[in-house]
Amino acid sequence: NDLWVALDNQFSGAEPSTDMSWEPCYGSNVPATTPCAGLDIVGVWDASMNVTSGEIYEYPAGSEDFYQVNPGSPFWSVNAPDVDMDVWSPIDCPCKETWVANGQPVWDASTLYSVNDVVEWPATSGTLWIALDNWFSGSEPTLSALDWDHCDGSAMPYSSPCAGLDVIGVWDASMNVSSGEIYEYPSGSQDYYQVNQGSPFWNVNAPDVDMDVWSPIDCPCKETWVANGEPVWVAGTAYPGDYVVEHPANTGNLYIPLESGGVSVGGGEPGIDIHWVLCNGNGPSPGPCDGLSVAVWDNTTAPVIGDVYQFPVNSGNYYQIVFIHDDASGGPDWVADPIVDGGLDEFWTPYVCPCEETWEANGQPVWDSSVGFYPGNSVVEWPAGSNDLYLAEAGGITGAGAPGVDVHWMLCEDAEDTADEAVPVKEADESDGLPSIGVVSTMLSVLVAAAFVGRRQTKEA
């Protein structure tokens, strides 16, 4: 038998199975689509009941507030669940279990929803939402919606991971571009470029080639966090690249994923897990090359020998200026863009992660065979207590073998010795023309392999 209890006064013509004026009675043969179907609820608590540990009750009737009996039963003559907290603990409606129990519904603008209804939206996204109000329809689940709350542990919603940038779209060669416009290139890369002053421009080359027209631009930390609803980090949640979270809550410490691919469901806590980088605030930010904070090189930067820059943006490749040349018009202090393909470069030398400082800043880690992935330029000791430090190759190591055996690890002393030998030199008898290079290409190839993958830490006020 299907039994229903009325929730309103003075109404008629409302069918129990479709109208929110009715609520199914617990224990009756009701349809599966009921709020909080993921909880095994005994019923509505009243003062005549003796309760047992683990049982779940609603209180008051129709409130959709649920309480579980604490360990230590049996209990007699207990007070109400919202009063006697020695006996009771509030329990939330479990999102995923409720969604599955109700047939995995997708949000529908025409459906009437009540508290603890759980829906997926968008369809097939794995993003689940739980209703916070009664008697509403047409309200689309979003991070800014007042009627819905994102379910912890489900896929993170986002319209754009880098929502703080006003991105026109993906650049292609048919476009005429104007100063200030921002484009992604290539498609899906989450690499963004802004058009320099001096537009309009026609027949421009790709953003990663034509640096007279384009300048790389970072995803703005705080603006992106605000645009996405000021999310707080939740354990067990997958986050896309450039998605900014706060952790701990209400601290103002904002973190952005280290890699463009984001952080997986198994990712650790920001401030501890090196796959997160602090981009705003004063929280901890361990990283593969902890403590290195440098600007992105572009052709408007005034170069100084010895300065270190990242190039291209978000590449994790770092270079140090070793030579400056007059420009084509006779102006001073000119430097070409770094050569990133392993070719000879008279202006730059790859900058190698400082091994000992990085190792100490990250807690002096010892290589661990159970670690599934080491990011590029991670530094570990092996064997334990030996003081032998090893540097991971630029692309990171998945399923890393033991340093000294696995060729994807480089002994730090070797990496640093190679860097010292690889500085280009200008011959003493040369004029102001281009200098000769005192290094062979094979040595530079080794250094490029050691250039670290990471994200520049950009701290905002």
Query: Digits of tens for pLDDT over the chain (461 positions)?
Result: 567 777 666 777 777 655 656 665 654 444 434 567 777 888 888 888 888 898 989 888 877 788 999 998 778 788 888 888 888 998 888 888 889 888 899 999 888 888 889 999 888 777 889 998 877 888 888 776 788 988 877 776 655 667 778 888 889 988 889 999 999 888 877 788 999 988 778 888 998 888 889 988 888 888 888 888 788 888 877 788 888 999 988 888 898 887 767 787 777 888 877 778 888 877 665 554 554 555 678 777 777 777 778 777 656 677 888 887 765 554 556 777 887 666 667 888 887 777 887 787 777 889 988 777 777 678 899 999 999 999 887 666 777 789 999 988 989 876 555 444 444 443 433 333 323 222 333 233 333 333 333 333 333 44
The answer to whether the CB of 259 falls within 8 A of the CB of 238 is no
The answer to whether the CB of 94 falls within 8 A of the CB of 107 is no
Q: What is the pLDDT of residues 320-346, one digit of tens each?
A: 888 877 655 545 567 778 876 666 678
Q: pTM of the prediction?
A: 0.41
Q: What is the pLDDT of residues 64-84, one digit of tens each?
A: 788 999 998 778 788 888 888
Cis bond leading into 71, ω under 30°?
A: no
Alpha carbons 151 and 13: distance in angstroms, whole number: 35
Instruction: State the pairing for strand pair 245-246/214-217.
Output: unpaired
The answer to whether the CB of 338 falls within 8 A of the CB of 347 is yes
Domains, the chain, ranges and CATH? 1-25 (no CATH), 31-91 (2.10.10), 95-150 (2.10.10.90), 360-420 (2.10.10)
